[in-house]
Amino acid sequence: MRLRLLSVIVLAGLAAAGPSAAQTVPSASADSLAALRSRYAADIAAAEALYGEGANAESAERYAEAFRQLAEPSSTDLYNAACAAALAGAVGRSFGFLHRAVEAGWEDEAWMGEDPDLDTLRTYPGLWAELGVAVDRSMQRRYGEAYDPALVAELAVLRERDQGIRAEWTAIQERYGFPIPDSIGGPFKERWRQVDAEVLAEVEALVGEHGWLGKHKVGQQGAQTAFLVIQHAPLEVQERYLPMLAQAVAEGESEPWHLAFLTDRVRMRRGEPQVYGTQMRLDEGTGVLTFFPIEDEANVDARRESVGLGTLAEYARQNGFTYEPPGLD
C-alpha cells in the first residue's frame, strides 16, 4: 500500500491527481460538488479501514464505489484500490485500477515494482510489462522532451539507498526500544553517515551536470529524491541549495512543501524557530516526539495549508503523538 513513510514526512496522499478514465459526472442538481466530495472522502476512509482489517475484496469494492462518485479520483486512491484488489485476487480489476492511477499521475514505478501488495500481479509478466510501458508513456506526455528516463532510473537507485538506511534504523528502534544500546546504535549511525555522504555526492554531481533536478527532467519522484537527499545534507549544503529549490518551486519544477521542509530544517539548525512545523525532535531515551519551536504558532496551520500540508494536529497524529495548539491546557 502507499503508506510508505519517508524520513522527513508522511507522504500519503501527495501523489498528483489528474484526469482518470472517462466517467459520467453526477448531476450537480442531484448533489452539490461539496456533497460529492464529502461522500467520496467517507468512502475512501471506509475503504482504507477495510484494507487495514484485511477485508480486501470489500475494500476494493468500496474504492470502486468512491470512484463512481467523483470523476477525477486521486492517483494515490486509485493505487491503493489496486493494492486491495490484488490482495483479494482480483487481478484484472487491480491492473485496471493501476492503469487509471498512471493516467491520473501515479509515477513511482520503483515502489510499484517492489510493493508486496502487488506480488500477485508480477506473476503476469506480459501485463506487468504493459504497465511499465504505460508509466513511461504517461511520463513522456506529462513532462515532454526534457524528461530523461535514464536520469530517473539513476535517482531511483539513490532514493532506495537514502530511504533504505532509514528503514533499517526504524527496524532497530522497533526491535530494541529506547534507549538503543550504544553497541548497536553507534556502529549503525556511522554507516548511516557514510551512506548519506555517498548519496549526497552523487546527487550533487547530477545537479552540477544537469542543473536542478526538476519535474520536467525527472518527474515528481525524481524531484522529490533530490529534495530528500538535500534535506538530509549538512547545513552548509542545505543553505547553498535553498535558493535553487526556491526558484524551482517558483517555476513549478518542485513542490511547495519541499521548500517548506527545507526552510524549516535550515532554520532549526541555525537555532531559529521553524515556520511550517515540519520538524520534530525525538527523545532517544524515551522515544517521545515533540515539535521544535514554531514561529507565530497560532497561524501555522494557515501557512501549512498554503504549501499543501495538512494541519499540525494531523501531522502529529500521523507520527504517533498528540499536539495541542497554543492556548489550550
Which backbone phi and psi does 281 adopt, to 5 degrees? Answer: -125, 145
DSSP secondary structure letter of residue 13: T
From residue 320, give the alpha-carbon distance in Å to each of 192, 288, 290, 315, 324: 24, 9, 10, 9, 14
pLDDT by residue (tens digit) across 283-328? Answer: 877 778 999 999 999 999 999 999 999 999 999 998 889 998 887 5
User: If DSSP codes are grouped into helix, strand and coil, which group holds residue 165?
Assistant: helix
State pLDDT tens for residues 89-146.
999 999 999 999 999 989 888 789 889 999 999 999 999 999 989 988 898 888 888 8
Task: Give the span between the Cα atoms of 225 and 233, in whole angstroms.
Answer: 13
pLDDT tens for 232-274 read 999 999 999 999 999 999 999 999 999 999 999 999 999 999 9
Mean pLDDT of the chain: 88
Contact 86, 58 (CB under 8 A): no
- HSE of 306, CA atoms in CB hemisphere, 13 A: 10
Question: Which amino acid is it at 240?
Answer: R
Whether 180 has a pLDDT exceeding 80, the answer reads: yes
Q: What is the pLDDT of residue 328?
A: 55
Q: Which residue has the higher pLDDT, 78 or 110?
A: 78
- pLDDT number for residue 64: 96
Phi first, then psi: give them for residue 325, nearest 5 degrees.
-60, 160
Cell of 224: 522529490
Long-range contacts of 161-164 (CB under 8 A, 24+ apart): 161/195, 161/198, 161/199, 162/7, 162/195, 162/196, 162/199, 162/225, 162/228, 162/229, 162/232, 163/6, 163/7, 163/228
Q: Name which residue leads in pLDDT, 111 or 59.
A: 59
> Which residue's C-alpha cell is 484488489?
85
Contacts of 33 (CB under 8 A, 6+ apart): none
DSSP labels, 220-247: HHHHHHHHHHHHTS-HHHHHHHHHHHHH
